Amino acid sequence: RFSPTSQYSPRLSPEPENIPWVMNAGGNVILIGGFSGRDLDPEIIDPAYQWLEANSFLDRAIIYIGDETNDFERVRGKSLTIRKRWPGLRIMVGGSKPRKELIGYVDVWDPITAGGDVYNFEAQSTREAQDRGEEVFWYTCIGPRWPYANIYNDHPLTAIRALWWQAWKYQVTGFEYWWFNWWRSNNDLAKGDEPWPLSRTREWNSRSFDWANGDGLLVYPGPEGKALPSIRLSVIRDAIEDWEALFILERTLEVARESGVSGELIGKAENWLQVPEAITVDLTHWESDPEVYLSARSEVLGLIGDLYEKLGRTRVDKHIRAWVDRHQEFLQESFQKRVAKVKGSDQ
């Protein structure tokens, strides 16, 4: 459920030969990364853009041009160049909430869940950006620390489930994670020593940073270099499925209302979609008891099943597909208006 992309290396990712497989397997992001700390490079971007356009993947493509920066003038300059030369690329800035200095220049915002004033997530500006047809992802990276939910080894696994319930609460539609396999502290060993797990004398060091045990380590190196998933990675999968279950419940509720269904079933569905305070109140108050999340998932799926039985699954599935198509059209039309505005300013 993670698109294997590289936001810090100046390249197209996944590799072009792997993109069709990744997209068929459920990936939904293709990234031209590595341009947050350097100038745009046409020698890299031109062939990537041409390949994406020729293979009909341009609508999935994002170019990453800023990372935890307050150099808004530089971001605007890069954005104007992209709008003119590579108009099909959506522009993403990591480490920035939607800000007035960049409105019209950014298509995908990516604030940290909590951080400095430049970087931190903000509910109001997120809603306004979504109304404009922009997307808002968020991320964790080394921070934030407790009591915010994160995916450190030192946090309970319920923090991961809470993070995606919070994402639903604020209608965040993407999660960006800075590194998948930060094995550097285990691979950069003294000359003559063997890297873990071959070494018989060296224990695995899971502290990528002093206070961030396990951060950037969602997979571990197994035999012959095969990546082994962490328990946390499997819980991230479960958490994403929580979000998806709520999405399906909301779409199913829309069909129920159109059909005049009322009563206790509707009230229960509305309660879950608003995210009960028993699960999370805000970004620093969330439930740590795993039974709460297991019970919540069971109840949400039960409601979906009950409503499917009343409405007919075929009808609901058709509505979901139509809703997704309309939403994608809205995002695309909004994106094209932002591009056209820049092109029109040159005339």
More confident residue, 191 or 92: 92
- pLDDT tens digits for range 27-71: 999 999 999 989 999 999 999 999 999 999 999 999 999 999 999
- Contact between 105 and 80 under an 8 Å Cβ cutoff? The reply is yes
Model pLDDT, residue 203 = 75
Model pLDDT, residue 86 = 97
Model pLDDT, residue 346 = 58
Model pLDDT, residue 344 = 67
| pLDDT at residue 196 greater than cutoff 50 | yes
Model pLDDT, residue 347 = 45
Model pLDDT, residue 218 = 93
Q: Picking from 182-191, 235-244, 303-312, which range would have the lowest pLDDT averaged per residue?
A: 182-191
Q: Picking from 71-80, 166-175, 185-194, 238-247, which range would have the lowest pLDDT averaged per residue?
A: 185-194
| pLDDT at residue 184 greater than cutoff 70 | yes
Secondary structure of the chain in the HEC alphabet? CCCCCCCCCCEEECCHHHHHHHHHCCCCCEEEECCCCCCCCHHHHHHHHHHHHHCCCHHHEEEEEEECCCCHHHHHHHHHHHHHHCCCCEEEEECCCCCHHHCCCCCEEECECCCCCCCECCHHHHHHHHHCCCEEEEEEECECCCCCCCCCCCCCCHHHHHHHHHHHHCCCCEEEECCCECCHHHHCCCCCCCCCCCCCCCCCCCEEECCEECCCECEEECHHHCEEECHHHHHHHHHHHHHHHHHHHHHHHHHHHHCCCCCHHHHHHHHHHCCCCCCEEECCEECCCHHHHHHHHHHHHHHHHHHHHHHCHHHHHHHHHHHHHHHHHHHHHHHHHHHHHHHHCCC
Model pLDDT, residue 132 = 97
Mean pLDDT score of the chain: 92
In this prediction, what percent of the chain has a pLDDT beyond 90?
79
- Contact between 264 and 302 under an 8 Å Cβ cutoff? The reply is no
- pLDDT tens digits for range 71-83: 999 999 999 999 9
Cα 143 from Cα 269, distance rounded (Å): 33
Average pLDDT of span 232-240: 96
- Contact between 122 and 135 under an 8 Å Cβ cutoff? The reply is no
- pLDDT tens digits for range 84-114: 999 999 999 999 999 999 999 999 999 999 9
| pLDDT at residue 225 greater than cutoff 80 | no
Confidence band for 116, pLDDT divided at 50, 70 and 90: confident
List the beta bridge partners of residue 150. Answer: none
Model pLDDT, residue 190 = 45
| pLDDT at residue 189 greater than cutoff 60 | no
Whether the pTM exceeds 0.85: the reply is yes
Model pLDDT, residue 207 = 82
| pLDDT at residue 277 greater than cutoff 80 | yes
